Amino acid sequence: MTLFPVVMPVIEAVHDLSGKEQVACLSRLAREALKVSAEKSGVKLGELLKDENGSPCPVSGHYWSLSHKPECAAAVVSRDKIGIDVEEMKPRTEPLFSYVASEDEWGLKEKSWDTFFRYWTAKEATLKVIGIGIGGLRTCRIISVPDESHIVLDYKGDSFLVEQLRYKNHIVAVVKGGNEIEWVVLSESQIPSTKS
């Protein structure tokens, strides 16, 4: 099966909105990205609901995942449980290195902010598949970094293959599994209106 993760920029007008208003607009934008992913996949999505833990509930037998940051939104739909995450690559505080990965994990790839965000997004996308939050970050372990676009993780004996895309100073990660990935990157002119 081919997955169509959709990535889109956030228009400048959204950056000027207040906190809650901005988050609501970013959520609507991510849901628009999800519509594009569903169309490309030939899937008709109904109402998008979440369970008591905040995990997306399947719609008509299809799973979905959203992620957004102030300058980027991403979404994907799949027949299997799915996870997508996006993070802006900007330095944070040094103690986060040990929070995100163990010394063994850092031994797989040069310790850098680039690797930090690759690890972070890969783990976040995987934890979304599992249905738990970042509390599981340390239990989810990087076991291989085969190339600049893929990371293999282990969570309690289950392996997950994640594919990543670099987009405007962001890393976008999606759990690939055995699927093909066809990234859909929309330009600003292709973004649907985010007004309610």
- Mean pLDDT of the region 133-142: 88
Q: How many domains does the chain have?
A: 1
Strand partners, 69: 72
**Average pLDDT of the chain?**
92
- What percentage of the chain reaches a pLDDT higher than 70? 97
Whole-model pTM?
0.93
CA dihedral 6, 31, 175, 157 (to 10 degrees): 180
Radius of gyration of the chain (CA): 16
Which of 15-19, 115-119, 177-181 shows the lowest mean pLDDT across its residues? Answer: 15-19
- Assess if residue 196 is contained within a domain: no
Q: Tell me the per-residue pLDDT of 140-191, one tens digit each, with 9 for 90 and over.
A: 999 999 999 999 999 999 999 999 999 999 999 999 989 999 999 998 878 7
- Assess if residue 31 is contained within a domain: yes
pLDDT at 64: 97
pLDDT at 112: 94
Q: Tell me the per-residue pLDDT of 41-58, one tens digit each, with 9 for 90 and over.
A: 999 988 999 888 888 999
- Assess if residue 26 is contained within a domain: yes
- Assess if residue 108 is contained within a domain: yes
Please tell me which residue, 72 or 192, carries the higher pLDDT value.
72
The whole domain housing 66 covers 2-190
The two three-digit tokens of residue 120, written as one number: 């972070």
pLDDT at 29: 92
CATH of the domain at 164: 3.90.470.20
Q: Tell me the per-residue pLDDT of 87-114, one tens digit each, with 9 for 90 and over.
A: 999 989 988 999 999 999 999 999 999 9
- Mean pLDDT of the region 125-140: 89
> 192 pLDDT exceeds 70?
no
**Which residue, 196, 174, 175, is CA-closest to 185?**
174
**Distance of alpha carbon 32 from alpha carbon 196, whole angstroms:** 12
Query: Binning pLDDT at 50, 70 and 90, where does residue 195 land?
Result: very low
- Assess if residue 42 is contained within a domain: yes
Distance (Å) of CA 191 to CA 40, 137, 156, 171: 16, 33, 39, 20
